[in-house]
Structure 1
Amino acid sequence: MGSSRRAGRPSARERLLAAADELFYAEGVQSVGIDRVIEHAGVAKASLYNTFGGKEQLIRAYLEARHARASEHVRHVMECCRTPRERILAIFEAQGEVFASPDFHGCAFVSAAAEARPGGLVEQAADDHRRALRAVFTELAEQAGAADPARLAHQLHLLYDGAVLSARHDRCPTAAEAARAAAAALLDAAAGPAREGPG
């Protein structure tokens, strides 16, 4: 009986990541001390250092886990889309789902990077997330037939960032909807000549 309970219990790594996700996202990576994470996770202090090495590595792992979840969410919402245009707009619709959550506190990556030392593991994890998102926009812009996919991807990324900022700081419930409408206008403009054809 006892062994079956232990088998079903989350590992120290899983508990530390869950505690970090809850505390770091709600309160900030620098505001929350390592002792609070350890206490919240219910693990020994040595478990953190044996598993991650230190706080900066834990923050990086927390951000990488959030990136994996965000990427999976985006993949899921794009699954039912038939065209690149629909997939791009679906990304903004996915934002709206996140903004509607009562636990929404803005972008975890922007918040963590703002508190991070330049060139450190935390900044690198945040940069990796942003590069991955830009790559998705660029690929979809190419598939949509944009004359300058990199430029369109940059514009879409700016809209994405602006929606996060507005939803968090302006407490605007329609930020994602406004960003989606602006993205649709950008896509129409980018695809205009292609629609008209050579004639």
Structure 2
Amino acid sequence: MQRNTTSRARLLAAAEQVFYERGITRTNIDTVARAAKATKPTVYAHFASKSALAAGALEARQRRIAADLAAHLADVEPGTPRLTAVFDWLATLYEHANGRGCAFLNAAAESPADEAVTAAVRGEKLWLLGVLRELCAEAGYDRPDELASQLLLLIDGVAARVLVHGPGEAGAATTAAARAADALLTSAAHGHGAP
């Protein structure tokens, strides 16, 4: 039986928004169904459980964010400028998110025992780490794995600040992380001979 992909996409979009705004644990399937203008049986026709729906919504968000970052970096000069552009993108992302910070870290904090949600969160973090590693290698930095990990710690630090202190902290946290990234990249360039 082929499922209606439009219904599935509508459910994922609604779940992504509602879970982000209200939290996964505080949101029931009925709320998602109402937001998607669907019935509860329709939700379960596409997703075996709330956990599967939450993981699917996170994976959909990750694909959208990946496309957005790729578009943001497409016109940026290769090398270190692309790495610093990731922090510009992050600032824009938080500015337009108008919400609760990083959906992935929020989900991990809310659902630590949920294997499907945890796998989706890990998938997003591995994707971003891979992007940063590729950009570090492209820029000619030695030890791109280590540098990418350090940059991801800065990005996750922004998310943690927003999670703890609220979205009003996003601008200051992103600016501080960008400055720290600049210092880290300068140190890596002097210590390891990046261009």
* Fold shared per TM-score above 0.5: yes
Structure 2 unaligned runs (5+)? none
Q: 1:68 to 1:195 in 2, by over 3 A?
A: closer
Please point out which of 176, 180, 183 is paired with 1:182. 180
CA contact (8 A) 1:144 1:191 kept: no
Q: Which structure would you say has the larger Rg?
A: 1
- C-alpha distance after superposition, 1:23-57 (max 9, x if no partner): 10011111001111112222122111111122111
C-alpha displacement at 1:102, in angstroms? 6.0
The 4+ residue runs of structure 1 with deviation greater than 6 A are none
- Distance in structure 2 (CA, Å) of the matches to 1:20 and 1:43: 12
Question: Contact conserved, 1:29 with 1:115, CA < 8 A, in 2?
Answer: yes
Is 1:98 equivalent to 2:73 in the alignment? no
CA distance in 2, matches of 1:158, 1:117: 19
Aligned length: 187
Shift of 1:85: 0.9
Aligned positions of 1:1-199 closer than 5 A: 11-101=6-96, 103-118=98-113, 120-170=115-165, 171-172=168-169, 173-192=171-190, 193-194=192-193
Asked if 2 retains the 8 angstrom alpha-carbon contact of 1:84 and 1:140, the reply is yes
TM-score, normalising length: structure 1? 0.86
Unaligned runs of 5+ in 1: 1-9
Q: Quick one: structure 1 residues 143 and 178, their matched pair in 2 at CA, closer, same or farther if it must change by over 3 Å?
A: same
Give the TM-score, by structure 2 length.
0.88
**Superposed CA offset, 1:114-165 (max 9, x none):** 2225361110000010011011111111122222111111110111111222
Aligned-CA RMSD value: 1.9
